[in-house]
Amino acid sequence: MNELELKYGCNPNQKPSRIYMEDGGELPIKVLNGRPGYINFLDAFNGWQLVRELKLATGLPAAASFKHVSPAGAAVGLPLSEVERKIYWVDDLDMEFTPLANAYARARGADRMSSFGDFISLSDVCDVATAKIIKREVSDGVIAPGYEPEALEILKAKKKGAYNVIEIDPSYVPAPTEVKQVYGISFEQGRNELKIDEHFFDHIVTQAKDLPKQAKIDLAIAMITLKYTQSNSVCYVKGGQAIGIGAGQQSRIHCTRLAGSKADNWFLRQSPKVLGLQFADGIGRADRDNAIDLYIGEDYMDVLADGIWQKTFRVKPEVFTREEKRAWLAQMTDVSLGSDAFFPFGDNIERAHRSGVKYVAQPGGSVRDDNVIETCDKYGMTMCFTGIRLFHH
């Protein structure tokens, strides 16, 4: 098969639509179930590249949760803690968690609101444990290099049999140049084949030089994630998973703030106050996510005043005060931060510090590099200059 007709393009009025190989060769994918659309394939192909590179860089199974051609989450298959199982809503699953299942639970769980209705990318053959997690989440589809027979049957039954399941040939190598059209005009460029490994972070420019193995892994996850995130973009990573991604912002400080707020929410979900919330019977996972977002946000007092809490909780939750949230967030440490282009001002580092960032990777090259380095030194952060920009559009 060298072409596949799609229902429509980005929007229903954009017809005809298809994916095809310009050289007339075979498409490197098989649609095993469903009818993926234009945006589904954009998410699938970008996500596949991301998890493939994460696997190559870390040696661990990887998963990504994509929405609108940017990752909402990405992670490698390290074990889940008991707290993580609880905040990712998988603590009730009576099964053995495989490394791939851990990777997807973490990729999906870090920013569950953004991941709602995601397209999933898996670096390895989808196993039954991973399929069981996917089965219970609101998702548009999945791409992987293969599927265990039982896992495939589980996925085929999702969405009344309409769930999109794509198998990609892991040996496929794309052409060294890529072409796209905008307004009838063709753009051509060499593919971004940059390899990111532990030596990518050798050029340390701060007074602090400590960069442990886990920090190198986390920085690699950050930079590979940014490689497939719409620019401008910033990514916070801790313990092998992205915990905050800021994508597509025109200002870098807004990227840093957006990603930082997501990282903060990830950590606030682990606080005793949030873990102690008592939900009313029958409240689904998505509604719980929304309720938690309101609870840890600035609008919770309005929720209390309007009495909305009675529909969601069995017991009226105590207010999570600003002072309590600050005290809890002060315990978040050893976070890694990557940026797809240089930080033009030290304000990005100031904001990153508030979310426990200790390790930073960025291209460098700003006329204010000295100010950015000085701000890192003030907080004892380790920062490396990669010398490589990672814009993605």
Active-site residues, by number, are 67-68, 232, 393
CA–CA gap between residue 384 and residue 204 (Å, rounded): 4
CA–CA gap between residue 28 and residue 269 (Å, rounded): 40
Number of other CB atoms surrounding residue 177 within 10 Å: 9
CA–CA gap between residue 332 and residue 312 (Å, rounded): 29
With beta carbons less than 8 A apart as the criterion, state whether 164 and 33 touch.
Answer: yes
CA–CA gap between residue 255 and residue 348 (Å, rounded): 9
CA–CA gap between residue 64 and residue 226 (Å, rounded): 12
Residue where the block lists tokens 């898996």: 122
DSSP letter assigned to residue 159: G
What SS3 state is found at 76?
Answer: strand
How would you write 348-380 as a 3-class SS string? HHHHHHHCCEEEEEECCCCCCHHHHHHHHHHCC
246: which strand partners? 234
Cα 101 to chain center, whole Å?
Answer: 15
Residue 153 in tokens: 């049957």
CA–CA gap between residue 99 and residue 105 (Å, rounded): 10
Residue 116 in tokens: 């709602």
DSSP letter assigned to residue 111: T
DSSP letter assigned to residue 308: T
CA–CA gap between residue 168 and residue 44 (Å, rounded): 10
CA–CA gap between residue 212 and residue 235 (Å, rounded): 19
Strands, E, within 239-324: which ranges? Answer: 241-247
Contacting residues for 386 by C-beta, under 8 A, at least 6 apart: 200, 201, 203, 223, 361, 362, 363, 364
Considering Cα of 273, then 238, then 66, then 389, what sign does the dihedral take? Answer: positive
